[in-house]
Amino acid sequence: MDRFHRIADAFAQVQKQACLLLETIDGAAFFSNDAWQKEIGTGITRVIAHGSKIEKGAINFSKVSGPVTPSMEATTGISEGTFSATGVSSIFHPKNPLAPIIHMNIRYFELSNGKAWFGGGIDLTPHYIDLDEVRNFHQELKRVCDTFDASWYPDFKQQADNYFFIQHRNESRGVGGIFYDHLMADERSWEKLFDFSVDLGTLYPELYAGILIKKGNLPYSPGQLLWQKHRRSRYVEFNLMYDRGTQFGLQSNGNVESILVSMPPDAQWSYNYSPEPGSEEEKTMNFLKKGINWLEI
C-alpha cells in the first residue's frame, strides 16, 4: 500500500476509535455517520449532540486529491501537478461549563513532485481555568512530543500560543496546546512523523475522556452557564475570523455544514460584559495570555 493510503487508513481508524471512546463516555448520545463522496474525494462527518456530557461535538475525516489549482499555489509552492490530502479534525463543546472545549486536527499533504508534509495540533479552551487540568494537559502533550523530539513541545507550544489568539480582543482563545505545520517529510523522517500524528490522534480522545469523567457531572449554576455562552462567542469569533482551516474550507467551496460544525451549539454577546472583580471568571480571563509555562504553574 502506498504512503498516502496507509496514512488515510490510519486517520480513518483514529476517527473510529475516538468516536467509540467518547460515545461510551457520554453514555447517552450517538455519533451520526455521514459519508460523503465528491469528485475531489471522500470523507465521513460524524456529529454528536445533546448528550449527557457532550452538548455538541464532531470528528471529521477526509481524503481528497486532484490537480493543484491556482489558489493552492501559495500553500504548495507549485503551479501544476497533483496533490493528495487527508486529515482528521475534531471539536467538542461540553454541556458542563466547568469542563473545557477541546480541539484537534491532524493532516497530511502530498504533491506529485514528491514533496510531503504533516500538520496538526491539539488545544484546550476552558470556560473556567483549572490549573491541575491544564498542567496535566500540557504534560501529556509534552510526553508524546518528547518520544519523538525534545525540541518539539516548546516549539509547537509557542506556535499554538501565537495561532490560537484573538487579535481584536488581545486575548488567547484558551490555554493553547501544540500547533505545527509544514513538517516536511523525507525518506528518513516520514515514519516518525506518521507515528507522531497517529499518537496525537490516539491521545486526543483519551485526554478528553479523562476530563469528562471528572467534570461531566459536576453541579453548576445558571450564572456559570451564562458565562459559558459568552466564552463560546469568543470561540465563534476566532473560528470565523482567524481559523485557517475554516477560511480555506469556505473559500474552496467545501461542505459548509461539515466545516461549520465547529461552531458552538449556541453563543451570547452582551455589550460590555465583564466578570466581577475577584471572581473565578476574572481569574480565567487573567490566564488567557501568551507565553505562560503551564508545566510549572
Residues of this chain that bind a second copy (CB under 8 A): 32, 45, 47, 49, 56, 58, 167-169, 229, 233, 236-237, 240-241, 250, 256-257, 260-261, 263-272
Q: Which of 5, 50, 93, 103 is catalytic?
A: 103
Residue 26 CA to residue 47 CA, distance in Å, equals 13
For a second copy, the closer CB: 86 or 246: 246
Q: Which three cell numbers stand for residue 26?
A: 457520554
Give the C-alpha separation, 115 to 133, whole Å. Answer: 38
CB 201 → a second copy: shortest distance, Å?
22
- Helix H or strand E segment including 100: none
- Measured from the CB atom, the residue of 237 and 280 that comes closer to a second copy is 237
Cell representation of residue 197? 500524528
- Is residue 220 within 8 Å of 226, Cβ to Cβ? no
Give the whole-angstrom CA distance, residue 84 versus residue 66.
7
Closest CA to 100 of 214, 240, 242: 214
Residues 201, 127: contact at Cβ < 8 Å?
A: no
Q: How far is the CB of 71 from a second copy (least distance, A)?
A: 15
Q: Which is nearer to a second copy, 58 or 178 (CB)?
A: 58
CB nearer a second copy, residue 49 or residue 295: 49
In the DSSP assignment, the letter for residue 114 is S
CA angle 183, 185, 189 (to 5 degrees): 105
Signed CA dihedral, 69, 75, 80, 83: sign only: negative
The rounded distance, in Å, linking the Cα atoms of 181 and 125 is 21
Cβ proximity to a second copy, 3 vs 230, nearer residue: 230
Q: Which amino acid is at 232?
A: R
**Which residues on neighbouring strands pair with residue 82, listed in sequence order?**
67
Asked about 103 being catalytic, the answer comes back as yes
**Phi, psi (rounded to 5 degrees) for 206:** -65, -40
Neighbours of 8 (CB within 10 A): 24
- Nearer of residues 217 and 274 to a second copy, judged by Cβ: 274
CB of 295 to a second copy, least distance (A): 32
Catalytic residues, which ones?
Answer: 103
